[in-house]
């Protein structure tokens, strides 16, 4: 009986944690752990209560879980990318499955995709510059190649040792940007690799960090807000010095005694509709997995995760900046940014 009570208390503890987290950062393995704990309870009245509790949790989880992007497929750097400047500041490891970018007082470096893409899913595993990274910027973004360009940005703003990185995202449409959002991350991005990805289709652009949506930009063309839909974009990444603005608005300068600064990359996943830079539409429109109905919007589970990021980690959102924008941009309400 004592073992049954102990087991039931363990099940209750696990279930409470899962429900308290609202499945925001709960993995399938943790739900499986709850199942194993229930099995250990054996049979009897306590066991029946444990099974009832487990089934309730599973029903909550099944209602919450939705369509996450497909898992990225890691490939060597040279499959999809090529260096663009300061070639000697890029080092290759394990046959190109991992690379490192170096920044010193002479130059940074960068690379770009070989192809241009009109919609798709793009992912990169990055380990950011460790230690004192103030003044440095590590960028991963998509951009078209004309004056009224479209752009989808991840920018990682370095900081002094012990201070957190800031992740800034932005979306440019028709040459107009100024849609910055800034968040802290819920982990140290310089100690291990983490996945940063973009899902882009005709309906929305979603920024993901380790499968957690941190931002959504919906197609609000009907509200008079341009949306990237007819300009193919290349992918770019770079490590460079931006100490005139990157850290505390330029107050903190790059400490070159800490150079070289090193950012590491792997994954190099691209699953997009490849198109010439002159193309106006995707030839396989509507046929790719990222075009399907379940990817036209976030589901309830994903919106809860987004709200978790908004409430706990967002430090700047252009949608709530009334000093800068007395009138809120029309897309903000649709994007659930307020």
Task: Name the residues annotated as catalytic.
Answer: 151, 155
Integer Rg of the chain from CA:
22
Helix H segments across the chain?
2-20, 28-39, 45-64, 77-80, 300-313, 331-334
User: Tokens 């090529």 identify what position?
Assistant: 82
CA distance 261 to 144: 28
H or E element at residue 98: strand 98-103
CA distance 115 to 228: 17
CA distance 266 to 186: 21
User: Tokens 């009907």 identify what position?
Assistant: 222
- Other CB atoms within 10 A of residue 179 CB: 23
CA distance 88 to 98: 16
List 83's β-bridge partners, or say none.
111
Cβ–Cβ < 8 Å for 179, 171: yes
**Closest among 124, 178, 128, 126 to 151, alpha carbons compared:** 178
Output the six-digit token pair for 252. Answer: 């903190």
CA distance 110 to 112: 7
**Closest among 263, 49, 250 to 138, alpha carbons compared:** 263
């Amino acid at each position: 009986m004592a073992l049954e009570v102990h087991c039931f208390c363990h099940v209750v503890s696990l279930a409470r944690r899962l429900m308290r987290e609202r499945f925001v950062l709960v993995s399938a393995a943790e739900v499986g752990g709850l199942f194993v704990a229930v099995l250990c309870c054996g049979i009897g009245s306590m066991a029946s209560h444990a099974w009832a509790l487990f089934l309730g949790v599973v029903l909550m989880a099944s209602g919450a879980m939705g369509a996450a992007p497909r898992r990225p497929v890691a490939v060597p750097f040279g499959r999809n990318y090529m260096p663009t400047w300061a070639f000697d500041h890029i080092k290759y490891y394990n046959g190109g499955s991992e690379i490192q970018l170096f920044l010193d007082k002479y130059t940074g470096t960068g690379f770009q995709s070989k192809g241009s893409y009109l919609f798709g899913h793009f992912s990169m595993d990055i380990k950011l510059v460790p230690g004192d990274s103030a003044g440095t910027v590590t960028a991963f973004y998509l951009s078209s190649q004309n004056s009224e360009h479209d752009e989808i940005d991840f920018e990682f703003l370095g900081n002094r040792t012990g201070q957190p990185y800031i992740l800034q995202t932005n979306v440019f449409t028709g040459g107009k940007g100024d849609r910055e959002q800034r968040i802290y991350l819920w982990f140290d991005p310089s100690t291990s690799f983490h996945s940063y990805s973009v899902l882009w289709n005709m309906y929305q652009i979603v920024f993901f960090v380790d499968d957690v949506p941190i931002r959504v930009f919906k197609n609000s063309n009907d509200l008079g807000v341009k949306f990237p839909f007819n300009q193919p974009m290349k992918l770019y990444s770079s490590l460079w010095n931006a100490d005139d603005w990157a850290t505390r608005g330029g107050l903190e300068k790059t400490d070159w005694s800490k150079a070289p600064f090193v950012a590491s990359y792997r994954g190099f996943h691209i699953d997009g509709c490849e198109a010439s830079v002159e193309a106006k539409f995707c030839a396989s429109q509507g046929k790719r997995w990222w075009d399907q109905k379940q990817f036209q919007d976030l589901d309830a589970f994903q919106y809860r995760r987004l709200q978790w990021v908004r409430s706990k980690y967002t430090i700047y959102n252009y949608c709530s900046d009334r000093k800068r924008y007395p009138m809120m941009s029309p897309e903000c309400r649709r994007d659930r940014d307020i």
